[in-house]
Amino acid sequence: MSLKWSLFVSYIAVILVTLVVVALGSTLLARGYVDKLSLARLDDMTRPIYVQIVGLIRGNVTPQQLLNTLQEQADKNNAYVLLLDGEGNIERQLVPQQLEPLSPITVASGILPVGLTTSEQGKFTTTDGRVFLFSAYRLARQTGQLNKVETLVLATIRPGTFSVLRTFINPLLIAAGIALVVSLLMAVFFARSVYRPLINFNKAARQISKGDYSHRIETKGPREIQELADNFNLMTQDVEQSHLRLRHFVADVSHELRSPLTSIQGFAQALIDGTASDEETKLKAAKIINEEANRLKRQVDELLELSRMQSNQLQIGNETVNIKEVLEHCSEVYEVQAKQNMNTIELNALLDLTVTGNTDRLEQVFNNLIDNAIKNSPTGGKIKITSTPFQDKFAQIIVADEGPGIPGDQIPYVFERFYQVTGSRTGVGLGLAIAREIVVAHHGSIEVNSLPGEGARFMVILPLKQD
């Protein structure tokens, strides 16, 4: 069964159960109301009979005449007439002739009213399980064969549940019919409001599975559906971006690996076909093959490392890292390279700022930033490295150069894999992408500020170790 029909059938089941519960509840409520009306009607019948009997008693009629009159009233009102003694026992009872076969009332002791001072109404149950409603009045004690009679009782069988239900079945059926029609219309509306968005999601999923990542779902309807649509659209956007990144990544990897492979293949072919005939040429070819192979291995290793980082497999650790010591070590490592380029490294790290993380990984970050700064600094330029507290909870490390800078439209992409800044600035590969992943794994951030011709300023922010 489809979701549409499942919802519709569920709504119908709920509606029918509700109607049944309402009918039963109404019957129970009406039970008491009908009893009240029946008792009132019974009392209205009993009062004139009582007045008539009192008048007959005062007129000194014979007991038989009195009993005949009571029998006429029993037949006329289709009600039992009971004459009780002072202990509540039935002295005489007159059964209406309409009841065939005749079913006299028998009750246990103490059930019927006794010692009345005013009229009384209520109900009692006979020994055979029948329930009667009654209205009772006190009589003056008689002489002769009715000398024990003290109470007059008029009793009728209490209407059954179905009898009560029949009294208002027609209005109830009409109301139930109207409620059912209205409820079914509402069920159709609400079922559509649930399954129609799902149909849209299903269509969108099929489009995306076919490669149409531009498909979006309109955010309308209930709040939960809107949130689901927003999340679905965000997921679609992420999938689209991931797909684009994968395509770019494959293209970038193909491009980057093609260059060293082409060199390796060319010089290897020269060795094979004898083009490199003398020892000097062979040695040069072998050297280039070795360098390009090392370059290729380095790129593959960096690629695998970045892949592990982006798969959350990077283990950072929780050692205490002194930022000043890390920057001093990195500056010493690149001091020779800077002098060869006639550059100067200026380190300003006066405070001992400590963070929690991995010393080797953080050195990898700053080594990459310093290496890029040296490569892009002009002859005689300065590389300035500073570390300062930032907002009391962070360490801010800045590596700035005096190189050609980065165009503004290219800044958002400098941390992408294999991104090459156009112009005179150098730097290609995975270094900055790896640096960003390491910084993020340390719960920090890295960004770059630059203007063409004014150098680049890389800023790393790391949370300080909390005591």
Q: Report the alpha-carbon distance of residue 307 to residue 313 in Å, rounded.
A: 9
Q: Average pLDDT for residues 122-148, to the nearest whole number? A: 81
Listed ranges 23-27, 160-164, 168-172, 223-227; the one with the highest mean pLDDT: 223-227
Give the pLDDT of residue 425.
Answer: 41
Give the pLDDT band of residue 158 (cuts 50, 70, 90): confident
What is the share, in percent, of the chain residues with pLDDT greater than 70? 81
Sheet holding 445-450, edge to edge: 344-348, 382-390, 394-400, 456-463, 445-450
pLDDT tens per residue across span 322-350: 999 999 999 998 888 888 888 999 999 87
CATH topology of domain 3-167: Beta-Lactamase (3.30.450)
Give the pLDDT of residue 13.
Answer: 77
The CATH number of 223-310 is 1.10.287.130
Give the pLDDT of residue 30.
Answer: 65
In the numeric block, the tokens 């794994």 are attached to 441
pLDDT score of 251 more than 50: yes
* Residue 141, C-beta contacts closer than 8 angstroms, at least 6 positions apart: 147, 148, 149, 150
Give the pLDDT band of residue 444 (cuts 50, 70, 90): very high
For residue 408, CA distances in Å to 211, 382, 416 come to 33, 22, 15
Render the burial of 253-284: b for 16+ CB within 10 Å, e for the rest. Answer: eeebeeebeebbeebeebeeeeebeeeeeeee
Q: Report the alpha-carbon distance of residue 239 to residue 245 in Å, rounded.
A: 10
Q: Report the alpha-carbon distance of residue 391 to residue 461 in Å, rounded.
A: 10
CB of 446 closer than 8 Å to CB of 439:
yes
Q: Report the alpha-carbon distance of residue 191 to residue 185 in Å, rounded.
A: 10
What residue segments make up the domains of the chain, in order of their start? Answer: 3-167, 223-310, 319-463
Q: Average pLDDT for residues 94-100, to the nearest whole number? A: 80
Q: Average pLDDT for residues 358-365, to the nearest whole number? A: 88
* Residue 1, C-beta contacts closer than 8 angstroms, at least 6 positions apart: 9
Angle formed by the axes of helices 431-441 and 359-375, nearest 10°? 150
Q: Report the alpha-carbon distance of residue 291 to residue 270 in Å, rounded.
A: 16
pLDDT score of 428 more than 50: no
pLDDT score of 447 more than 90: yes
pLDDT score of 420 more than 70: no
Task: Considering only residues 89 and 182, tell me which one the structure prediction assigns the higher pLDDT.
Answer: 89
pLDDT tens per residue across span 256-303: 677 678 778 887 887 788 777 777 887 887 888 887 788 778 767 766
Q: Average pLDDT for residues 358-386, to the nearest whole number? A: 89
Domain 319-463 bears CATH identifier 3.40.50.300: no
Give the pLDDT of residue 437.
Answer: 85
Task: Considering only residues 7 and 350, tell me which one the structure prediction assigns the higher pLDDT.
Answer: 350
The predicted model scores a pTM of 0.46
Give the pLDDT of residue 250.
Answer: 67
Cα 50 to chain centroid distance, Å, stands at: 71
What is the share, in percent, of the chain residues with pLDDT greater than 90? 15
- pLDDT-wise least confident of 18-22, 147-151, 383-387: 18-22
Mean pLDDT (the chain) is 80
